[in-house]
Structure 1
Amino acid sequence: MKSVRPTTLQNFHKKNGIDQDRIIIEPQSWNTYENAKYSARIIRKNDFDEVLLITSALHNKRAKACFHRQGIKPDIYPVDFGGDSEIEWQNFWKPAIKSLSTNHQVIRETVGIMAYMVMGYM
């Protein structure tokens, strides 16, 4: 799972004709907890009624919980499902390098959820 810095997304939106006045970038955070905390300040300061949280499908449970912990109830738009469009029965039994990457992502997210729960971030 790759992380994309907010300015990269802002440039993408601008290049694709999305009205920049409708997008607010939170550039300070280095993790999901900080993103929820700093975003909540922006949301409250601007008195926004609706918020769209765009995050990877794998990460959306932790992100949503962090925002809820801050009192923000965003609509969730999961992206980067990372699944294969082609499923064959042979792939269920033969080892593949891609499986290691997928397992790493799932383990990382599971450990992240447990750590965030212990730390009270979600």
Structure 2
Amino acid sequence: MNEFVEIRWKEFEKLGERAVRQNLATHIYGEENVRFAREWLESKRLDQEAALRDATLASQAEANAIARDAASEASRAADAASRTAEAAESANKRATIAIVISIISAIATISIAIYGLLSVAKHVS
């Protein structure tokens, strides 16, 4: 960009987009300045699009990071739930074994009591 164009663009920068657009609409600029003003406005539009694109990419990157963190937390929670289920299953097996042993013990106790009663009854008769 040559020095003349730079000077024009600095003037446009001082005025701001709104004033430059207004000056274009009211035909204040000569033919050469109209071209420079349009180029400057196009440059501003492209800068704004680039800034918006950068902001969008930054937001997407942040959303991706949050999603990765959430997936990691979900995986850890699933692992913990799996370990808890395994522990519960193990406890259930031990409880079942304890119940079976209690039933066998109760049957043995009842059998011994019945045998004892029969023995006493046999001696009494």
Q: Greater relative contact order: 1 or 2 (C-alpha under 8 angstroms, separation 6 or more)?
A: 1
Common fold by TM > 0.5: no
TM-score of the pair, normalised by structure 2 = 0.26
More strand by share: 1
More helix by share: 2
Is the radius of gyration larger for structure 1 or structure 2? 2
